[in-house]
Amino acid sequence: MPITKSAKKSVRQNLRRKSRNAFHKKRVKDLLKKVQTLVKENKIKEAQELLPQVYKILDKAAKVGVIKKNTASRRKSRITKGLKTKSGSQKSPEQP
């Protein structure tokens, strides 16, 4: 247990930061999972409608400091790339 006043304050700060980080990480994780399941189910339209929300949540998490800026960019890029390849593969059977 902390003894000094500053150590006690540090514990309080860490608890607040931990809950904030967990909240943002959970939102990111849930939304990314939702988009990925929609892509697997070939519901590309619905997944593309969720894309702005994914961008917003990833940018917010990076701004707050939960994840790094490049991590947010990488995740946005990969999710967009996955959507484009999946939507492209749906159109390819129609072409000769």
Q: Is residue 94 part of a domain?
A: no
CA 57, CA 48: separation in Å to the nearest integer?
15
The yes-or-no verdict on residue 95 having pLDDT over 70 is no
CA 57, CA 76: separation in Å to the nearest integer?
10
What CATH number has the domain bearing residue 30?
1.20.58.110
Q: Is residue 80 part of a domain?
A: yes
Burial group, residue 66, by CB count within 10 angstroms (0-12, 13-18, 19+): buried
- pTM value is 0.81
Count of domains observed in the chain: 1
- Digit-coded pLDDT (tens) for 3-26: 999 999 999 999 999 999 999 999
Q: Is residue 2 part of a domain?
A: no
- Digit-coded pLDDT (tens) for 25-55: 999 999 999 999 999 998 889 999 999 999 9
Q: Is residue 44 part of a domain?
A: yes
